[in-house]
Amino acid sequence: MTAIEVEHLYKTFRIPHEKRTTIFETLTGAFKPPTYETFHALKDINFTVEEGEALGIIGENGSGKSTLLKIIANILYPSSGKVTALKRITPFLELGVGFQFDLTAVENIKIYGTIMGMQKREINDKLDDIIEFAGLEKFRDTKIKNFSSGMQVRLAFSTAIQTNPEILLMDEVLAVGDMEFQQKCLDILSQYRKDGVTIVFVSHDLGSVRRFCDKTLLLNKGEQIVLGDTGDVIDRYVYGGGDEAPTAGSQNELDAVEPDVKPEDKNPRWGDKTVEITGVEFYDKFGNKGSRFNSFDPMIIKIFYNAHKKVSDPVFGIALYSETGENLFGTNTELKKASIEYLEGKGHVDLMIERIPMITGRFLLTVAVHTHDQKPYDWHDKQYSFDVMPTGRDVGLFEVPCSWKI
């Protein structure tokens, strides 16, 4: 059963070019009509979320993620298009809105709980649990104005989770509090997933998106780039496989493959090849080229390219997979702040791995080069591999630095 349906959703804002704050400015400007710039925050967004499903929404800052969530929550209205929600919505967006800073924690729980739709008796029954979950037992009668910002958000989150949501909208709320409190938040989200709560989750924490979301929507500059399996969409986002927004009438599902198409039948390479990856080589600690390495040794990955014309601000990325295709790690030059002003002609970029953390096994490598806004020049999907030989007696896939104390 469909819980949320978004159809041909558009949202535009009018941004004035001049600001009139005084009577004189208003009078003198009466004969000159104000001028505006139109900003298209969302353009033709379409997706459905089934009951009990978790949808992740990812993208760069300014891509329209929070705007989309606020429209689903009925905080903003769309310019055109339609959002249909068939269950009760609980938005975890701007936590703490409605707090009164001259009132105590307990008094604010009662106000905030009422805003969130809780009944008076329900709030009183859960009051102690809310205070305990937030870790604020000693501060229940302290005025909010004396709380740190982290304490305020913890109190708001602890109150909001008592609402027994049917559809949960979350915007970066797992970033609140210290590590212990964040783990509490993750445990609550895990419980919601087990209870079949429908979740729409906006976050820059790709690990949490990968962990909790069944499918993910990638936005870029207000446009819907791709919707599909969370692991594949995150790969497209981090390593530059994001295509331009689909044209009208095209399928939005990732790769638009039919169910009977096997993964090995998909094209392992794509891009316009303005910058072409011509080869990848692995070098060991002695400077020798090879494909076998001892665990915990350094390694260099050289990515050779040929830029057929001058391109500015390119980004190189890699993704590391186990032999069974599990995504283990990914990064790119932008994330590591290794900016490239431009490329022209032939050359190579090197990824310096200080210490191979894998214990043993064969590992697959994806390499890509793309524009700053994720249009691929050349993408080689899992086309390279290397083997790691064990040098110790520990077992498993990765080494975990640890020691025993007796």
Whole-Å CA distances, 379 to 113, 272, 306: 50, 9, 14
* CA geometry: angle 322, 323, 325, nearest 5 deg: 65
* CA geometry: angle 221, 336, 233, nearest 5 deg: 45
Residues 6 or more apart whose Cβ sits within 8 Å of residue 261: none
Question: Do residues 144 and 99 lie in contact, with contact meaning Cβ atoms separated by under 8 Å?
Answer: yes
Rounded to whole angstroms, the Cα distance separating 82 from 89 reads 16
pTM over 0.75: no
Starting at the earlier edge strand, list the strands of the sheet with 342-353. 275-283, 299-312, 342-353
Residue 273: what residue type?
A: K
Closest by CA to 199, choosing from 156, 166, 239, is: 166
Both tokens of 335, joined, read: 């994330």
Residues pairing with 200 in the sheet: 55, 169
pLDDT of residue 32: 65
Rounded to whole angstroms, the Cα distance separating 15 from 38 reads 6
Closest by CA to 170, choosing from 134, 211, 200, is: 200
Give, for all 406 residues of the chain, the pLDDT tens digit. Answer: 899 999 999 999 988 766 666 665 666 555 566 677 888 999 999 999 999 999 999 988 889 999 999 999 888 999 999 999 988 888 877 666 668 889 999 998 988 888 777 888 888 899 999 999 888 899 999 998 898 877 888 888 888 788 778 898 888 766 656 667 777 777 888 888 888 999 999 988 777 788 788 999 999 999 999 999 888 888 777 666 444 433 333 333 333 323 333 334 457 899 999 999 999 999 998 888 988 888 899 999 999 999 999 999 999 999 999 988 888 999 999 989 998 999 999 999 999 999 999 998 999 999 999 998 888 999 999 999 999 888 777 878 888 888 899 9
